[in-house]
Amino acid sequence: MQVSPPILFIFQLMEGKDTKTLNIDVFETLFRTNHQFLCMVAMQYVQDKFIAEDLVQDFFIDFWQRRHIIQLTTGFEAYARRAVKYKCIDFLRKNAVAKKRNSMFSILEETQMPNDETDQEEVKHQRYVRIVELIHKLPENRKNIFIMHAVEKLSYADIAKKQSISVNTVKTQLSRAYAALRNKTIITFIGFLLAIARI
Amino acid sequence: MDKESTPFSPNWNRILETLEADEQSSQDLSPEEQLLLAELRTLRAESSEALNVYSSFDTNKKWDTLKEQISVGVTSHHRSKGKMRKLWIRISAAAAAILIITGISLVYVKKQQNPHNLVNIFKNDIAPGKNMATLTLDNGKKIVLSTANKGQLATEAGIVISKTADGQVVYSVSNQESDAGTRIHMLSTAKGETYRLRLPDKSEVWLNASSSVKFPASFASQEVRQVEVTGEAYFEIAKDKAHPFIVKTNQQEVQVLGTHFNINSYEDKNNTTTALLEGSLRVLNNARQAEIIRPGEQTIVDAGKNITISPANIKNVMAWKNGYFRFRDEPIEDIMEKIIRWYNIDVIYEGKVSNEKFSGNISRNKNISEVLNMLSYSNAVKFKVDGRRVTVMQ
């Protein structure tokens, strides 16, 4: 069962121990490692880059201010993902304009909301989060080769030169990268199609 | 490493080369390879977009801002160790109160739906409807059908009624009895029940809650296959050009050949809606007016009025049969009608009823608390559940 922050708080108090508090350097590492990813998580819900960044910033500020109290039983990433998600949902709730989101019901305003667009944006960002996760799970070299190929759009020859490997090795690494992404995103792809068809 | 066994039999090298060159003609690839190529292109494009979004967030800048905001806190931390003790005392005094709140919120956090919503009052929860129905034979004998019993249920006049392992009721004719066609059976559901039945001609019918379907034990000697329906049912009719299938409700008659359609004739609505998914269908009202519709359309039959044809929202129509509620832009009263039938409850409206329109999807297999919590998330309604009575408030 997942435990929400208030309950962690209670357990900590019950033990009566002094916390091993977070120092700012460790906090900085946590921030730098997780910041971009958490912003992408927030984008799934809010779809506005600046609001997403602000909500993630709020999360980190809160986390820092409560560092005496919080002792994580799960890893930081899992905790942060949930906390950012709740912040987003809370934000959307308070926001006057209702949008369709992770919760099931919403109010439609007099003027018809472009639901299809919002749905598609949400789903798109959900896919992006998934893709980024999968890419980061790739072994270092493979990840870099894939990024050079997909983002920087370098040719196989250029990648081979940069990495000091053969073109054949580049192809092998790419085929393994694609295989990893393909296997795991096929399922999300179907989920994507279903979401678009809104079944 | 180059000779690694690849997960696919297609030639990866060829595909990757085509991908690299982004050639227009991929004719020397087999169909599977072309499909794979298309997937890889999509993956590549999406990965690129995803990574671009990812790197568009300026971590450095944000860290600098954050550091400024909290640097005051860092220095005061070293001084505040003494304050920690005071804090501890204050907090432990409140801990008892927090424990109680935690205990209550644990109940709602369990399914991790919406831990912030403690707005509704639930004296008890209500379970969703079940797969259950009553089969009434022509001799008056009633058989309760549920997932519990299996195998043969009844035999009479050469008709064997049995239940398959997956819960479907199947009719089979073991020998030709000429009067089987006159024996009328009825499958009915109460509130909170739903069922699926295979008719003697292999047509299938799904019944929603508070509904019934009357049918003869055998269609064999009949010119038309006729059934009668109350409430809501979805049909998938086996094709038989020689024997049209007719569904009668109290306001209309529907004639089909081979087709998939949904009929909603609940009495609280005073009209009958028939939505067609596949095949073709002809609706005849009591004034003997007729309309033919095509897949994706629906008819509404209202006593004393002409038959109206309109586009059907098939997903909304089919949601119940697929196991969930689906609404688009509906007032709370309509939604509560569906909930009443499925959860078998009474509803009271207290105070002014919200004019808001609701949209959403939720599985039918959840307890009522989850459905009501979702509805109240919109802040337009609140609920109280006590026994089988639900009060709707603003």
Please indicate, yes or no, if residue A67 is contained in any of the structural domains.
Answer: yes
Residues of B in contact with A4 (CB under 8 A): 105, 109, 115
Each residue's pLDDT tens digit, B74-119: 444 444 455 556 666 666 666 656 665 666 666 555 544 444 445 7
Is B90 in contact with B337 (CB distance < 8 Å)? no
Please indicate, yes or no, if residue A163 is contained in any of the structural domains.
Answer: yes
CA A132/CA A155 separation, integer angstroms: 22
Length of chain A in terms of residues written? 199
Cβ within 8 Å of B, A 131-150: 131-132, 135, 146-147, 149-150
Please indicate, yes or no, if residue A125 is contained in any of the structural domains.
Answer: no
Cβ within 8 Å of A, B 115-134: 115-116
Residues of A in contact with B12 (CB under 8 A): 171, 175
Q: Cβ of A26 under 8 Å from any chain B Cβ?
A: no
Note the Cα A156 to chain centre separation in Å.
30
Are A146 and B110 within 8 A, CB to CB? no
Half-sphere exposure in the Cβ direction for A137 (13 Å, CA)? 13
- ipTM rounded to 2 decimals: 0.75
Which among B1, B62, B102 is the nearest to A57, CB-wise? B62
**A168 and A105 inside one domain:** no
Residue of higher predicted confidence among B54 and B200: B54
Fold of B133-317: Jelly Rolls (2.60.120)
Which residue, among B345, B351, B384, B349, has the nearest Cα to B119 in the 3D structure? Answer: B384
Q: Which amino acid is at B347?
A: V
Please indicate, yes or no, if residue A127 is contained in any of the structural domains.
Answer: no
Each residue's pLDDT tens digit, B6-59: 555 667 888 888 888 776 665 677 877 888 888 888 889 889 999 999 989 999
Each residue's pLDDT tens digit, B298-323: 999 988 888 999 988 888 888 899 88
Q: Cβ of B383 under 8 Å from any chain A Cβ?
A: no
Is B239 in contact with B261 (CB distance < 8 Å)? no
**A170 and A77 inside one domain:** no
Please indicate, yes or no, if residue A40 is contained in any of the structural domains.
Answer: yes
Helix (H, G, I), strand (E, B) or coil at B69: helix
What is the count of structural domains for chain A? 2
Evaluate the CA torsion angle A92, A95, A99, A103 in order and state its sign: positive
**A11 and A106 inside one domain:** yes
**A100 and A150 inside one domain:** no
Q: Cβ of A37 under 8 Å from any chain B Cβ?
A: yes
Q: Cβ of B76 under 8 Å from any chain A Cβ?
A: no
Range of A16-30, A90-104, A108-122 with top mean pLDDT: A16-30
Please indicate, yes or no, if residue A162 is contained in any of the structural domains.
Answer: yes
Tell me the residue range of the domain where A96 lies.
1-112
Please indicate, yes or no, if residue A13 is contained in any of the structural domains.
Answer: yes
**A105 and A151 inside one domain:** no
Q: How far is CA B108 from CA B47, B115, B122, B136, in A?
A: 38, 6, 11, 42
Residue of B nearest to A147 (CA): B48
Chain B nearest-CA distance from A94, in A, is: 10
Mean pLDDT to the nearest integer, A76-94: 89
Q: How far is CA B171 from CA B159, B165, B188, B209, B260, in A?
A: 7, 14, 16, 22, 20
In chain B, the percentage of residues whose pLDDT exceeds 70 is 78
CATH of B121-126+318-393, one of 3.40.50.460, 2.60.40.10, 3.55.50.30, 3.30.565.10: 3.55.50.30
Are B77 and A21 within 8 A, CB to CB? yes
Which helix H or strand E contains B349, and what residues bound it?
Answer: strand B346-349
Q: What is the DSSP letter of A116?
A: H
Domain boundary (A97, A112, A127) is at A112
| CATH code of A106's domain | 1.10.1740.10
Are A132 and B16 within 8 A, CB to CB? no
Q: Cβ of A51 under 8 Å from any chain B Cβ?
A: no
